[in-house]
């Protein structure tokens, strides 16, 4: 008989729809991929049984009330919800009924995972104390301010800290669920599920929520934003600090100071990150040799490609390609 892995997904009013349905679909496909041997049984639990209206306006039906959740729980998955204020500020919603129930129920589950702003619910239930966690980038500052006992890292797709997992938002719920499947059933099954989902790439936890151009907010200076676009379009060109400063009609020293002020990093670090991102895409989706990848991405030589990957991703180009290759 296949092992039963009971997954309880929390529902509450205005919860993000994809936070619930995305992981549920991953677990269902894992069952299909293994002929049912995965044994995932997904149940939806809410403060009261019955329909719950999500933020998308679509209603989901809770199978159980919190009080009716009895017996062993393999995975307790907590999605999130946000409120958008009139001034445009986004704040994570912390449902007190969910927090109260989590304080009692979470310690009994084999593992606990949050999706997106669900990390705020785990933090309010003191489940993230002393841990490193992530959440959607738009509420990361709120999480850090309200819970100084939690080390908040807004960059990764997901973070595992012992039996507690936290995921970024919103489509990253699929990456986190795939990681849970990989832990249970192995990488091959998780990758097979990713193929069924036609996901471009099954990302590992250490990968950033953003591409390099999106990872920095818009600069206050239009010329710096224009320069960032120039860098993205000319990765195989001369992007030395001297060349970029000349393009801006600034001295090299003044340019370096302005660029760091606007982007939070040095020109050299920014260019390297952009070139590594280009190399990653080539390794994921082409059969190009490492020599060609290095040349096309502007890193020049295989030696420089290796050094940049070690610096940016703590891995090698070959290892990265084996893990994330999307071509057949």
Which residues carry out catalysis? 116
Alpha-carbon distance of 153 to 151, in angstroms, equals: 7
Continuous segment of H or E residues that includes residue 25: helix 17-33
Give the tokens for residue 70.
Answer: 């009895």
**What are the DSSP E strand ranges found in the chain?**
5-10, 40-46, 50-53, 59-62, 64-65, 75-78, 82-84, 90-92, 111-114, 132-133, 151-152, 158-161, 164-167
Per the CB < 8 A criterion, the answer to whether 171 and 16 are in contact is no
Per the listing, tokens 């295989």 go with 302
Give the tokens for residue 122.
Answer: 């785990």
Residues forming beta bridges with residue 129, ordered by sequence position: none
Look at residues 140, 11, 130 and name the one whose alpha carbon lies nearest to residue 66: 11
Give the tokens for residue 265.
Answer: 């990093």
Per the CB < 8 A criterion, the answer to whether 151 and 167 are in contact is no
**What are the DSSP E strand ranges found in 98-200?**
111-114, 132-133, 151-152, 158-161, 164-167
Look at residues 182, 153, 185 and name the one whose alpha carbon lies nearest to residue 167: 153
Q: What is the DSSP letter of 156?
A: B
Is 42 in a helix, a strand, or coil?
strand
Contacts of residues 126-130 at CB distance under 8 Å and 24 or more positions apart, as own/partner, are 127/102, 127/164, 128/161, 128/164, 128/166
Give the tokens for residue 55.
Answer: 């933020």
């Amino acid at each position: 008989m296949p092992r039963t892995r009971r997954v309880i997904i929390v529902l509450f009013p205005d919860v993000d729809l994809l936070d619930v349905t995305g992981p549920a679909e991953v677990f269902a496909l894992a069952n299909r991929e293994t002929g049912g041997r995965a044994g995932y049984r997904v149940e939806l639990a809410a403060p009261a049984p019955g329909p719950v209206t999500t933020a998308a306006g679509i209603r989901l039906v809770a199978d159980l009330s919190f009080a009716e959740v009895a017996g062993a729980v393999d995975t307790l998955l907590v999605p999130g919800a946000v409120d958008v204020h009139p001034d445009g500020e986004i704040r994570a919603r912390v449902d007190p009924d969910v927090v109260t129930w989590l304080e009692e129920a979470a310690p009994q589950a084999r593992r606990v995972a949050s999706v997106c702003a669900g990390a705020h619910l785990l933090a309010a239930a003191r489940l993230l104390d002393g841990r490193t966690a992530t959440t959607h980038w738009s509420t990361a500052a709120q999480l850090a301010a309200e819970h100084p006992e939690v080390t908040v890292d807004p960059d990764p797709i997901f973070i595992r800290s012992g039996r507690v997992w936290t995921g970024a938002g919103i489509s990253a719920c699929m990456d986190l669920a795939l990681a849970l499947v990989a832990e249970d059933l192995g990488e091959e099954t998780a990758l097979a599920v990713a193929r069924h989902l036609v996901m471009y790439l099954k990302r590992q936890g250490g990968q950033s929520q953003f591409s390099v151009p999106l990872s920095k907010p818009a600069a206050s200076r239009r010329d710096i934003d224009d320069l960032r676009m120039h860098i993205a379009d000319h990765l195989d060109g001369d992007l030395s600090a001297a060349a970029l400063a000349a393009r801006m009609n600034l001295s090299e020293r003044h340019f370096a100071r302005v660029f760091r002020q606007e982007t939070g990093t040095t020109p050299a670090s920014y260019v390297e990150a952009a070139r590594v991102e280009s190399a990653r895409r080539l390794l994921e989706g082409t059969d190009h040799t490492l020599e060609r990848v290095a040349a096309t991405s502007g890193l020049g030589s295989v030696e420089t490609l290796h050094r940049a990957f070690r610096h940016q991703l703590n891995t090698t180009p070959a290892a990265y390609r084996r893990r994330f290759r999307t071509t057949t």
